[in-house]
């Protein structure tokens, strides 16, 4: 079976591994310039920056099992357990007597991209791996499909895994079935912006002896959701004299593209300045925008995903995979990719 897996996030990689190891002839096509999707680690000037997913919890056994399988268990580290803070009102930063919610329970020493690199290595020589090449169309060419990447020749395949968020899936499917396209387009997502900023320690009045702070939703509305004091809980993520702060923002409608990176850096600095007593602007900032960061799950979400899946199966061997369809987070995305592979291998 020749299979095209569209989307090289963790779901697409998981599907590609199981399909290739199950005997499939797999081509994995990713639009971005690297695999990993919402898992992105950047190393620069002695800093290690998680721009997307930054860890996993005890409720994510599939991630742990995969790490074991990839011989990466010794990469697992637990951030130092420090007090969690909550920002009740501007300037009113209080300790809360609950387990820290602002840092994930576990992460990887060399960054979450280590998991992606492990998965990609596993696929080398087993699959045709392509990055920087968005798929722009899929047509039904019985008995299979023709997949059209932006660059290079069209691919004729027996089966397709759509491991892309619901929005691109809707664009690709709409010409084949406007009805399924509309169902996919109705699956809402929420955007997130992460702003990671580095400050010289002497320029920060707050002691930062905490894991970070969260902002109650009612207080925050669209705005800051939480700020992790990364350098306090994860030694080695910043040079010794630097404080590294990772702020997660909920952009209001239009802000995601309407605000520049410099604009985001300034917004976050102005929020943190009075709270943490910042004496100068950051020395370095990394801004990442995630348009489809997480599904907005309402009562009808699961039934619409089921409707899209049933409709697609009536068209042929084509599967949806990823956090957009089977639940937010790395574990759910992994399981979703593996389940898509299983279904195709069984047909
Ligand atoms: C800021 C942030 C923090 C998070 N923190 C955590 C965390 O700590 N723990 C946790 O468990 N989860 C976390 N998550 C969620 C987790 O990262 C995601 O649920 C998971 O990575 C989704 O994987 P996926 O493969 O389903 O989708 P994605 O990672 O979105 O992958 C989809 C891929 O499809 C590609 N694509 C899109 N269109 C096309 C096309 N036309 N052709 C080819 N490729 C295409 C995209 O470029 C992308 O690489 C976080 C997410 C964000 C944004």
Question: Does residue 73 surpass a pLDDT of 80?
Answer: yes
Cα 63 to averaged position of ligand 1 atoms, centre (Å): 14
pLDDT digits (tens, 9 = 90+) for 283-323: 999 999 999 998 999 999 999 999 999 999 999 999 999 99
Higher pLDDT, 90 or 247: 247
pLDDT at position 103, please?
Answer: 60
Percent of the chain scoring above 70 in pLDDT: 96
Supply the mean pLDDT for the chain. 93
| Cα 133 to Cα 143: distance, rounded to the nearest angstrom | 25
Beta bridge partners of 167: none
Q: What is the best residue among 36, 37, 55 to mutate for testing ligand 1's pocket, by most ligand atoms within 8 Å of CB?
A: 37
Length of the chain: 347
Ligand 1: does its nearest atom lie under 6 Å from the Cβ of 181? Answer: no
Q: What is the best residue among 59, 62, 164 to mutate for testing ligand 1's pocket, by most ligand atoms within 8 Å of CB?
A: 164
Ligand 1: does its nearest atom lie under 6 Å from the Cβ of 149? Answer: no
Ligand 1: does its nearest atom lie under 6 Å from the Cβ of 56? Answer: yes
Question: Among 177, 180, 178, 139, which residue's Cα sits nearest to residue 160?
Answer: 139
pLDDT at position 91, please?
Answer: 72
Ligand 1: does its nearest atom lie under 6 Å from the Cβ of 12? Answer: yes
Cα 316 to averaged position of ligand 1 atoms, centre (Å): 26
Q: Give, to the nearest 10 degrees, the angle between helix 330-345 and helix 10-21.
A: 30
Which of 2-6, 96-100, 159-163, 194-198 bottoms out in mean pLDDT, i.e. has the lowest? 96-100
Ligand 1: does its nearest atom lie under 6 Å from the Cβ of 320? Answer: no
Ligand 1: does its nearest atom lie under 6 Å from the Cβ of 293? Answer: yes
Cα 290 to averaged position of ligand 1 atoms, centre (Å): 9
Which parts of the chain are beta strand (E)?
A: 2-6, 25-29, 41-44, 47-50, 76-77, 84-89, 92-96, 107-108, 127-130, 135-141, 144-149, 155-157, 159-162, 189-200, 212-214, 224-229, 242-249, 284-295, 318-320
Ligand 1: does its nearest atom lie under 6 Å from the Cβ of 30? Answer: yes
Task: Give me the domains of the chain, ranges plus CATH numbers.
Answer: 2-39+114-187+298-345 (3.50.50.60), 55-60+76-110+189-295 (3.90.660.20)
Cα 189 to averaged position of ligand 1 atoms, centre (Å): 12
Percent of the chain scoring above 90 in pLDDT: 80
pLDDT digits (tens, 9 = 90+) for 233-265: 998 999 999 999 999 998 877 777 778 999 999
Ligand 1: does its nearest atom lie under 6 Å from the Cβ of 329? Answer: yes
| Cα 75 to Cα 24: distance, rounded to the nearest angstrom | 30
Ligand 1: does its nearest atom lie under 6 Å from the Cβ of 275? Answer: no
The minimum-distance atom of ligand 1 relative to the CA of 290 is 53
**27-36: average pLDDT:** 98
């Amino acid at each position: 079976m020749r299979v095209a897996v569209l989307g090289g996030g963790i779901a697409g990689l998981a599907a590609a591994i199981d399909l290739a190891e199950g005997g499939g002839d797999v081509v994995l096509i990713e639009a971005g310039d690297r695999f990993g999707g919402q898992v992105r680690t950047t190393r620069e000037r002695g800093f290690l920056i998680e721009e997307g997913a930054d860890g996993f919890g005890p409720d994510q056994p599939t991630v742990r099992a995969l790490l074991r399988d990839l011989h990466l268990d010794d990469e697992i580290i637990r951030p130092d357990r420090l007090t969690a803070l909550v920002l009740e009102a501007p300037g009113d930063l209080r300790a809360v007597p609950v387990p820290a919610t602002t840092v994930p329970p576990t992460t990887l020493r060399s960054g979450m991209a280590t998991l992606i690199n492990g998965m990609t290595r596993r696929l080398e020589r087993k699959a045709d791996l392509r990055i920087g090449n968005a798929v722009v169309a899929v047509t039904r060419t019985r008995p299979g499909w023709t997949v059209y990447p932006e660059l290079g020749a069209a691919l004729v395949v027996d089966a397709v895994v759509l491991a892309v968020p619901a929005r691109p899936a809707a664009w690709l499917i709409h010409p084949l079935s406007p009805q399924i396209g509309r169902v996919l387009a109705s699956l809402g997502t929420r955007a997130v912006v992460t702003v990671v900023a580095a400050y010289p320690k002497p320029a920060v009045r707050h002691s930062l002896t905490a894991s970070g702070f969260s902002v109650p939703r009612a207080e925050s509305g669209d705005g800051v959701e939480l700020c992790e004091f990364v350098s306090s809980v994860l030694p080695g993520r910043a040079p010794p004299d630097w404080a590294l702060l990772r702020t997660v923002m909920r952009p209001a409608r239009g802000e995601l593209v309407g605000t520049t990176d410099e604009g985001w850096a300034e917004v976050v600095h102005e929020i943190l300045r009075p709270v943490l007593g910042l004496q100068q602007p950051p020395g370095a900032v990394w801004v990442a925008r995630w348009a489809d960061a997480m599904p907005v799950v309402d009562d009808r979400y699961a039934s619409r995903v089921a409707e899209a899946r049933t409709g697609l199966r009536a068209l042929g061997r084509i599967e949806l995979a990823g956090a957009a369809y089977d639940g937010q987070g790395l574990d759910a995305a992994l399981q979703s990719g593996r389940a898509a592979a299983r279904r195709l291998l069984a047909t």
